Structure 1
Amino acid sequence: MSTLSQIKSREVSEIDRIQTASSITIPSELFEKMYLNPETRVKGQLRKTLGNPTPVGLMGLIINASSLGCNLMGWGGSGGGGAALVGVSYIFGGVLLTLGFTMEWILGNSFVAIVFAFFGAYTFTFALTLTPSVNAQGAFIANATTPVELAAGQAEFHASIAFYYMFSAVMILIFMVCSLRTNIPFFMIFLLLSLLNILLACADWEAAKGHMKASNNLQVASGAVAFALSFPAWYVWTAQLFLTVDFPLSLPIGDLSTRFKGASDRKGSGKEVV
């Protein structure tokens, strides 16, 4: 009888231990540091069952932006407007960011899922445009028979794709405003990404006008911005990896979620919070 009581006692203790572990609440600051997303309430325990996918998506963005920045600046004799990085854009940019989007969506982290979805599509689009078999620019010069017609076709291509970069910049600016609920590095990434796309749009518009020197200068400037934005991305990615392995050093990321309160927090407190 005593043995049966001991077994039941151990079972109850084990159940209590499991319930306690499953009821642990992640502090909002730590949650935002892990997922780059304001904490949201979702049903289920997937966040406690599955791994953190946020570093996967960030890894794709970092490798793509870092190498593209060096390429656009022409470092070490590089060039070609990123054409040599088509494979990088497809795999590191497109695939990893899309994978990150899918997993974040499953976990219910809406904001970072939307961000990864956008940049996954963005890098896939960039890679497809530079893929020789797609020959995006060729559609504008296919019927050109003279140098004048060839130049006109190239100008039309540059003037057309510039709008893609410009409207991407507008969307990224909205992401930047929303990121005020996350942290400083994420905000800086969006700020620099919007500037990058504005510079790329201006470079194409200058090329469409035949101002090749100005276009090249703007392209170099966009490369510098792409390289610069990789620094906050590298930093927050490293901070997340440190969390993943329970590293004894914790990197601060400048949490903004407590500075810019959410609408639900403001409603709950009854005070107007900036």
Structure 2
Amino acid sequence: MCKSTLSGNSARPLEVTYNLSKSFANPTPISVLGLAISVSTLGCDLMGWRGAGGNGAASTGAYFFMGGLLMMLGGFLEFILGNTFPFILFCGYGGWWYSYGATLQPFFGAYGAYSPDASDPSKGLEVAGFNATFVELSLTISFALLSGAFWELALGNASVASNLQTAGGAFLFVAGIAAWYILLAITLSSVGFPFTFPLGDLGGFLTKKERLDSDASA
């Protein structure tokens, strides 16, 4: 919501109010869509469904153009609308998806620099130094499990690393299901569908500081 003062021919200036939320579409669904697709595909890859593997390298395109692009775009649109928390959340995760996708791209040489064989850059994925670096990517329970998997790989414990990777993929898959549910609920609400799906309201548990201050002053 923003205001502009127009000084027309009248003696008193006219105040015009612009409601940005009415001028622009709701950007949240595209960010959630990017998250849902990226998380779902990575979860399936890490769990090894149908023989998938390679740290989810087969879905690199989804990480760049769905998780990265859509979440960053939605985040900046939330910034324009003045929504600070969604802006930070979406841009932060969008940046992570870009980083993860770039790591799996041979062009950036992230794992090729660790490879003992210059003719086979993919061997860098098996080197302790490369896998130990991934410990810094622990963001949620799933990412923490994945960090543990890379840590165990760095120590040479392939069996433990495989179990941690599968568990991390399972948590990502569950997060993907939740993201698809949220996307459906937000989309139905945005287009004015006659019914919506419950998402839960924390208004009864958490109160904004401005409201607390106004209640205290009253």
Q: TM-score, normalization: structure 1?
A: 0.68
Aligned to 2:131: 158
Is 1:263 equivalent to 2:212 in the alignment? Answer: no
Partner of 1:198: 144
Displacement of 1:138 = 1.5
* 1:1-274 paired onto structure 2 within 5 Å: 44-142=18-116, 154-163=127-136, 165-166=137-138, 169=139, 194-270=140-216
Judge conservation of contact 2:33–2:183 (CA < 8 Å) in 1.
yes
Partner letter of residue 199 of structure 1? Answer: L
In 2, the alpha carbon distance for the partners of 1:251 and 1:270 equals 35
The total of aligned residue pairs comes to: 200
Task: State percent identity of aligned pairs.
Answer: 37
The structure in which a higher percent of residues are strand is 2
In 2, the alpha carbon distance for the partners of 1:117 and 1:142 equals 35
Give the match's secondary structure for 2:108.
Answer: coil
Would you tell me which structure has more helix in proportion to its own residues?
A: 1
The answer to which of 260-269 and 89-98 deviates more is: 260-269
Q: Tell me the distance in 2 between the aligned counterparts of 1:46 and 1:55.
A: 17
The alpha carbon displacement at 1:71 in A equals 0.9
TM-score (normalised: structure 2): 0.85
- SS class of match (1:257): helix
Once the two structures are TM-superposed, the CA of residue 143 in structure 1 deviates from its matched residue by 7.0
Moved more, 252-261 or 104-113: 252-261
Q: Alpha-carbon deviation of 1:232? A: 1.9
Q: Which has the larger radius of gyration?
A: 1
Structure 1 position 142, deviation (Å)? 4.7
Unaligned 5+ residue runs, structure 2?
1-15
What SS class does the counterpart of residue 249 from structure 1 fall into? coil
Aligned to 1:14: none
| Distance across 2 between alignment mates of 1:269 and 1:235 | 36
Q: Which runs of 4+ in 1 moved over 2 A?
A: 141-144
Deviation, 1:257, is 2.4
Deviates more, 1:126-135 or 1:52-61: 126-135
Aligned-CA RMSD value: 2.4
Q: Which amino acid aligns with 1:157?
A: F
